Chain A
Amino acid sequence: LWETKDAEGEEWGDRLVIAEFHKKIKDAFEVFDHEANNTVDVRFEIGTIIRSLGCCPSEGELHDLIVEVEEEEPTGYIRFEKFLPVMTKVLLEKRYRPIPEDILLRAFEVLDPSKRGFLTKEELIKYMTEEGEPFSQEEMEEMLSAAIDPESNSIRYKDYIAMMVVDDG
């Protein structure tokens, strides 16, 4: 259905792809739109929606996206009508691709230069809350609750990544 080759066929295929993206975006939006009034909260929900669609923007990139979809006079809410075209473009252009597993592993290894195979709780907290785009306390606690190996009280990052990747599907 998607692989017709002639010019007309390709155009038709694109339209179908876009239609499917629209549905996907609508589903993701609606699940957070409690009042069913086609708006969601800027601060708490729009980032989650974008990421739940498989994109991995940095906080900075997310901020830029929000500016694109916000009202001229920010109301604290994002309307679906503005969100849809912007998000469709993001999906079509395959922007903000997720981090591959091997890159993630290498990142942990950079933080563990002596190659112990783990990070201590204090080390992880320090890096995550002081470097890059720092975690909030809530994000830090949430990550720790799954990442910490209770016996050693450390983060065995290889095991952790393996577990998370399976779970994330």
Chain B
Amino acid sequence: SGCGEDLLKAALVIQNWYRGYSARLKARQRYALTIFQSIEYADEQGQLQLSNFFSFMLENYTQIHKKDPELLARLFGSTLQDYKDRQDYVSHIDVPDSYHGPRLQFPLTFTDIDLLVEAFKQQQILHAHYVLEVLFETKKVLKQMPNFTHVKTSPSKELTICGKFQSRAAKLIFRSNGLPSGSNTYIFNGDFVDRGKHSIEILMILFVSFLVYPNDLHLNRGNHEDFMMNLRYGFTKEILHKYKIHGKKILQILEDVYTWLPIGTIIDSEILVIHGGISESTDLNLLHRIERNKMKSVLMSPIPLNEDHNNDLKKNKINTTIIPREVKTNGSLSEQLTKHEWEQVIDILWSDPRGKRGCYPNTSRGGGCYFGPDITSKVLNKYQLKMLIRSHECKPEGYEICHDGKVVTVFSASNYYEEGSNRGAYIKLCSGMNLRFFQYQVTKATCLRPLYQRVNTIESSAIRILKERMISRKTDLIHAFQLQDRSKSGKLPMGQWAFSMENVLGLNLPWRSLSPHLVTTDKSGNINYMSSFEDIHIQKPLKSGWSDGAQSTLIETLYRYRSDLQIIFNIIDSDHSGLISMEEFRAMWKLFNSHYSIHIDDFQIDDLAERMDLNKDGSIDFNEFLKAFYVVHKLDNVNKSDSKLA
């Protein structure tokens, strides 16, 4: 009847509309994820570029050679004094009776694992004495492990593989999948630290479990098991905050423990489990042989003491004279890996699979490469392997299979960028069966919020950090826009605006789709390019009486390079006191200035030094100072703490 037909039509209308709306929500979710990911990788690239700066600094910062051999040693990765230290150090740290946290008993047993898990649930902090003991013991046991652990599955014993193991997902995984034990084998495929608030607690559970079940818990090194990465991504800060007295020592030992983490695991001689990926030149035989503990950090590439290197440096646009190398390291050259060995490890820790055939430099991260399905086949065949399991990249569903089923990515940190950004997953396998994938998403709410709310959350979070990125490049952006805007109308066609954004920010993003969030458009569809900067500015430190105009470039520069500066300061501050001398600051800043081609006058640097010396005592508390620069989003009522300099 007519009525039935009307019902049909009405249903069709609603369904049609809903499907369109739902698709647009999902696309927005993807766009947000793309933003998070691009910025994360661009930051990693910035991180890797720092290594060039360090080389440059060493060549030109003559004062360091004379005054601070320790700094040099740190940058060249000296060996730590062996644990003749250990007995002295640990035994001198008393655990007071007033300490109500977990007390571990060495040699460790499974009761210690339970003890730790319970304690951390109660938000307790493990005493530094135990942390250090665990670290020393872990190093001792790791040292005996080969670069690749060979594991065999059995029909009765299941193996679980996790990648990027963070605290909230950890609780979920241990609850649903059980703690590590003799019958519950785990492989943790790197990145157990950084970007969460409980990295040290996770690390302690993992290391203690490892010490109790060294043959059933396998830890692979990830790119975040690197003290330089920790400086930028928060783990260093977490340690120094929770362990005010012994934090520095913990960091020191931890640096060393990282280098002893195995590079990978091979299951049943068929499945290679490593953190990042491979390259066309990946040589597993070489990797089995190298002295992996010489890989201190991705930022410390081996510097050859020869003419070629000096010539390379001269090619850089530097006016300062290159001082011939008389650098004496603590040890000899044998303290370092060869360049080839070092690159092999970087490839393992930093590479990403892609659909395009061949092997290309990984330009978004700045290290490792992109490898295609042909590379996967070639390398797997060469070593008679069937599959590669890796982590390193956030995937919306927590896992992804590519390269015809030969490459699997497993990513266990759900909500990695923001509440609702992605699911997490882990893999279970036992011999003779296919891989099984377990997905989840940790949420604070008791029931799942509607999709549109979740999408709104991650979208606004993503746009926020994108805008902060824009403002840190404001001068360059405006310059690029104005170059194209001959008539000085303040407007540009969409295509030109998008082009400039991509060029200046170096982010490959869908600018056209994002434009409504970033700029206003006039009736003809042209972009009012200055409108991005209207509701956002960098907050200047309140105390120091900065004036507008002349200082704004300096402020922008400080904001833009704040992470880099923090790392550099932290390196110079080798005793982790949080202070560096005015002289060190001036010299370092001048180097930074020339290497990064920033045009800040000398008098501005001196002025900056004066301002940073907040106590007027000749030393600079750089953390305090850098904290003062953060971005204000005018449309906020309250500044979110995560937009502040972390």
**Chain A interface (Cβ < 8 Å from any Cβ of B):** 1-3, 16, 19-20, 23-24, 27-28, 30-39, 47-52, 55-59, 98-99, 103-104, 106-108, 110-111, 127-128, 131-135, 139, 142-143, 145-146, 164, 167-169
Q: State which of B16-24, B319-327, B474-482, B612-620 sits at the interface with chain A.
A: B16-24
Contact with A along B1-24 (1 / 0, CB 8 A): 000001111111111111111111
Cα A145 to Cα B449 in complex, Å, equals 7
User: Could you tell me if B525 and A52 are in contact, using CB atoms closer than 8 angstroms?
Assistant: no
Partner of A167, one of B34, B395, B456, B495: B456
Partner of A145, one of B15, B18, B19, B448: B448
CB-CB under 8 A from A33, the residues of chain B are: 355
Residue of B nearest to A38 (CB): B355
Whether a CB of chain A sits under 8 angstroms from the CB of B367 is no
Cα A59 to Cα B456 in complex, Å, equals 27
CB-CB under 8 A from B525, the residues of chain A are: 2
Question: In the complex, which of the residues B13, B512, B525 has the most CB atoms of chain A within 10 Å of its own CB atom?
Answer: B13
User: Could you tell me if B493 and A48 are in contact, using CB atoms closer than 8 angstroms?
Assistant: no
CB-CB under 8 A from B43, the residues of chain A are: none
Given A143-B18, A167-B456: A20 and B10 interface contact (C-beta under 8 Å)? no
User: Could you tell me if A133 and B17 are in contact, using CB atoms closer than 8 angstroms?
Assistant: no
Partner of B17, one of A39, A52, A104: A104
User: Could you tell me if A99 and B16 are in contact, using CB atoms closer than 8 angstroms?
Assistant: yes
Given A1-B493, A24-B512, A34-B400: A135 and B21 interface contact (C-beta under 8 Å)? no
Residue of B nearest to A51 (CB): B23
Which residues B385-440 have CB closer than 8 A to chain A? Answer: 395, 400, 402
User: Could you tell me if B512 and A27 are in contact, using CB atoms closer than 8 angstroms?
Assistant: yes
Which residues B479-519 have CB closer than 8 A to chain A? Answer: 493-495, 498, 510-513, 516
Whether a CB of chain A sits under 8 angstroms from the CB of B646 is no
Instruction: Give the distance to chain B from A34, nearest Cβ to Cβ, in Å.
Output: 7
Residue of A nearest to B494 (CB): A20
Q: State which of B25-33, B77-85, B119-127, B259-267 sits at the interface with chain A.
A: B25-33
Residue of B nearest to A103 (CB): B13
Partner of B12, one of A20, A30, A58, A168: A58
Instruction: Give the distance to chain A from B432, nearest Cβ to Cβ, in Å.
Output: 28
User: Could you tell me if A135 and B15 are in contact, using CB atoms closer than 8 angstroms?
Assistant: yes
Contact with A along B199-228 (1 / 0, CB 8 A): 000000000000000000000000000000
Q: Give 10 new A-B contacts, CB below 8 A, not counting A51-B19, A146-B450.
A: A24-B512, A31-B27, A34-B395, A36-B355, A36-B356, A37-B354, A99-B17, A139-B22, A145-B448, A145-B449
User: Could you tell me if B498 and A23 are in contact, using CB atoms closer than 8 angstroms?
Assistant: yes
Partner of A31, one of B16, B34, B450, B511: B34
Residue of B nearest to A19 (CB): B495
Given A107-B13, A107-B14, A127-B11: A52 and B27 interface contact (C-beta under 8 Å)? yes
Cα A167 to Cα B450 in complex, Å, equals 13
Residue of B nearest to A161 (CB): B17
Whether a CB of chain A sits under 8 angstroms from the CB of B446 is no
CB-CB under 8 A from B498, the residues of chain A are: 23
Whether a CB of chain A sits under 8 angstroms from the CB of B353 is yes
Residue of A nearest to B514 (CB): A27
CB-CB under 8 A from A98, the residues of chain B are: 17, 20
Q: Which 5 A-B pairs have the closest CB atoms?
A: A37-B355, A35-B355, A51-B23, A27-B510, A132-B11
Whether a CB of chain A sits under 8 angstroms from the CB of B451 is yes
Cα A145 to Cα B454 in complex, Å, equals 12
CB-CB under 8 A from A127, the residues of chain B are: 7, 10-11, 14
